[in-house]
Chain A
Amino acid sequence: MAESNVKVLGTWASPFVMRVKIALHLKSVRYEDVEEDLLAPKSELLLKSNPVYKKIPVFFHAHNPICESLIILQYIDEVWTTSASSILPSDPYERSQSRFWAAYVDDKFFPALRRLLIGATEEDKKAALAEVVEGTVVLEGAFGELSKGKAFFGGDNIGFVDIALGSLLGWIEVIGKQCETKLVSEAKTPRLVQWADCFSAHEAVKDVLPDVDKLADFGLKLRAKILKALAPTN
C-alpha cells in the first residue's frame, strides 16, 4: 500500500531507526527514507523537527513529526490498523507488560550495551559486560513469560518487545565480536538465541538489519567520535 507523506529521518546504523522501519514493513506502509549522517554535523531538518533532543529517528506523517522510537511504534500501530497483526497486544495487562519490557530494553539493557561499546578502560568494559550478560538472562526470563511457548515475545507474530530488542541484534553481534564473547549465548540464553534467528529471518526484518561487517566498521568510527567528545579539553 503506497502512502504519501510518510517519511523516516534516520540512519541505516541506528537500532532506533530500524525499529520504525520494521514496524512500517509489518504494516506494509511505503515510506521515504531520508539518511542523516551521524558522523557529520546535524542537518537543518533534524534540528527543526526534533528541537528538544536533536536525535533520530524522526517520523513524519502528513508533515507532522513524531520523535522517540517507542512512541513512533505506538503511533504506527494506532494509525495503520487494517493490515496484518498488531504490534501491541489489545489486552490492557499484556499491553502493560509489553511496554514494561520495551522500557527495560531502553532504560537498562541498551545503556549497558552502549557502555560496553565505548568503555575506555578494561575495568569499565568488565563491569559493562557483566551488566549486559545479566540483562540477557533477565530477557530470557521475560521471553519465557511473554511468548507462552511461541516463537516471538509477541506470540505467533512479531510485537513491540521483539522490535525493541531485535533492533539491537546487529550491534549486539558487533560489540560481542569486539569483546570476543557471544553476548547472547547458547549456554545462558538458549531461547533468545533461537528467537534471534527467527526474528532476523522475518520478512519485515531481514532487509532492515544491517550487514555486520559494515556495522562493525561504523562502530569503530562512532566510538572514536563519542570518546573524542567525552575527553576533557585542555
Chain B
Amino acid sequence: MEDEVVLLDFWPSSFAMRVKIALGEKGIKYKCKQEDLFNKSTLLLEMNPIHKKIPVLIHNGKPISESLIILQYIDQVWNRKSPLLPSDPYQRSQALFWADYIDKKIYGIGRRVWMGKEDQEEAKEELMQCLKTLERELGDKLYFGGQNIGVVDVALVPFTTWFYSYETCGNFSIEAGCPKLVAWAKRCKENYRSVSEALPHPLQIYEYVMELKKRLGL
C-alpha cells in the first residue's frame, strides 16, 4: 500500500517551508494543500484542534503538528536517506537545542521587526544578537549539520527568505552584521534543490508582508 502524505501549508510560513525541505530531501511524494489563515478549513481545524496552526503533516490519515516534531517524525520514518539528525546522542541533543533556540527566538523577534511598532529598534538589536549567536555556532562549518544540511539548517534557512522584509521594514542590513550566515544561506539554496524549491523569493515574502501590514492597519 502506498503512503499517503498530505501537508497543510501556508506558502509564506517558515515553519511549513521546513517540512517541505525535509520531504524534498527524503524524496517523499506528497500533496500540498494551501490554507487561508483568515479562513481556516474544516480539515485544519480537525487535524490540529489544539493550536489550529499549520504546518500539519497528515501521514496515512494521522496528523502530526509542530514543525520540529514533524521533522523528527519524518527523520524517523523515512530513515534510509538524508538523515536530518546526528546518530550520536550528544550531537543530537546539541542539534535539538539549536533548533529549539531558533524556534524560541527568530519568528517572534522578526515579527516585531517587520511590524514596525515602538519596539522595533529593540527588536532589531535582539535579532542581530540571535543571528550572531547562530553565526558563531556555525563557525567554519559548511552547514550547521557539518558536511550536509541537518535539522538546524532546515530550521533556520526558511527565515532567510524573510531577511529582505526585516531589513526593508527596519532599515538595516543583516549581511553587514552576519556575512557568514548570509553566505551559508546562499550555499544552502545553491547546493540543495529541496531548499531552493521550498523557499519563495524574498520579494514575494515582502509583498505578502506589505499586504499583511495593510490588513493589520500598520
* Chain A residues closer than 8 Å to B50, beta-carbon distance: 104, 138
Main DSSP-derived SS at the B contact region: helix
* Chain B residues closer than 8 Å to A95, beta-carbon distance: 72-73, 76
Of the residues B64, B66, B69, B97, contact of A71 by C-beta under 8 Å = B97
B204 close to A (CB within 8 Å):
no
B77 close to A (CB within 8 Å):
yes
Contact B76 A71 (CB under 8 A): no
A61–B93 CA distance with the chains assembled, in angstroms: 12
A92 close to B (CB within 8 Å):
yes
* Chain A residues closer than 8 Å to B100, beta-carbon distance: 68, 71
Which of chain A's residues has its CB closest to B88's CB? A78
Contact B66 A67 (CB under 8 A): no
* Chain A residues closer than 8 Å to B94, beta-carbon distance: 66
Known: A66-B97, A67-B97. A100 touches B92 (CB 8 A): no
Which of chain A's residues has its CB closest to B79's CB? A92
Give B66 Cβ to nearest chain A Cβ, in Å.
Answer: 6
Main DSSP-derived SS at the A contact region: helix
Contact A100 B90 (CB under 8 A): no
Of the residues B64, B90, B97, contact of A93 by C-beta under 8 Å = B64
A68–B101 CA distance with the chains assembled, in angstroms: 10
A72 close to B (CB within 8 Å):
yes
Of the residues B64, B90, B96, contact of A96 by C-beta under 8 Å = B64
A39 close to B (CB within 8 Å):
no
B186 close to A (CB within 8 Å):
no
Give B52 Cβ to nearest chain A Cβ, in Å.
Answer: 13
- Max count, chain A CB within 10 A of own CB: residue among B76, B89, B93, B133: B93
A74–B89 CA distance with the chains assembled, in angstroms: 9
A99 close to B (CB within 8 Å):
yes
B193 close to A (CB within 8 Å):
no
* Chain A residues closer than 8 Å to B62, beta-carbon distance: 93
B65 close to A (CB within 8 Å):
yes
* Chain B residues closer than 8 Å to A204, beta-carbon distance: none
A96–B50 CA distance with the chains assembled, in angstroms: 15
Which of chain A's residues has its CB closest to B90's CB? A64
Give A209 Cβ to nearest chain B Cβ, in Å.
Answer: 25
Known: A79-B89, A92-B76, A92-B77. A52 touches B133 (CB 8 A): yes
* Chain B residues closer than 8 Å to A64, beta-carbon distance: 90
Contact B69 A66 (CB under 8 A): no
- Max count, chain B CB within 10 A of own CB: residue among A61, A72, A74, A93: A93
Known: A92-B77, A93-B73, A100-B65. A78 touches B97 (CB 8 A): no
Which of chain A's residues has its CB closest to B87's CB? A78
Of the residues B66, B69, B97, contact of A68 by C-beta under 8 Å = B97
Contact B73 A71 (CB under 8 A): no
Which positions in B face A, CB cutoff 8 Å?
Answer: 50, 59, 62, 64-66, 69-70, 72-73, 76-77, 89-90, 92-94, 96-97, 100-101, 133
Selected A-B contacts with CB under 8 Å, 30 pairs = A52-B133, A61-B90, A64-B90, A66-B90, A66-B93, A66-B97, A67-B97, A68-B96, A68-B97, A71-B97, A72-B93, A74-B93, A75-B90, A75-B92, A78-B89, A78-B92, A79-B89, A92-B76, A92-B77, A93-B62, A93-B64, A93-B73, A95-B72, A95-B76, A96-B64, A96-B72, A96-B73, A99-B72, A100-B64, A104-B50
Q: Report the 6 A-B pairs with minimum CB-CB distance, sorted nearest first.
A: A78-B89, A92-B76, A75-B93, A96-B73, A99-B69, A96-B64
Q: Given A74-B92, A100-B69, A103-B69, 11 other A-B contacts at CB below 8 A?
A: A68-B96, A75-B90, A78-B92, A92-B73, A92-B76, A93-B64, A95-B72, A95-B76, A96-B70, A99-B69, A138-B50
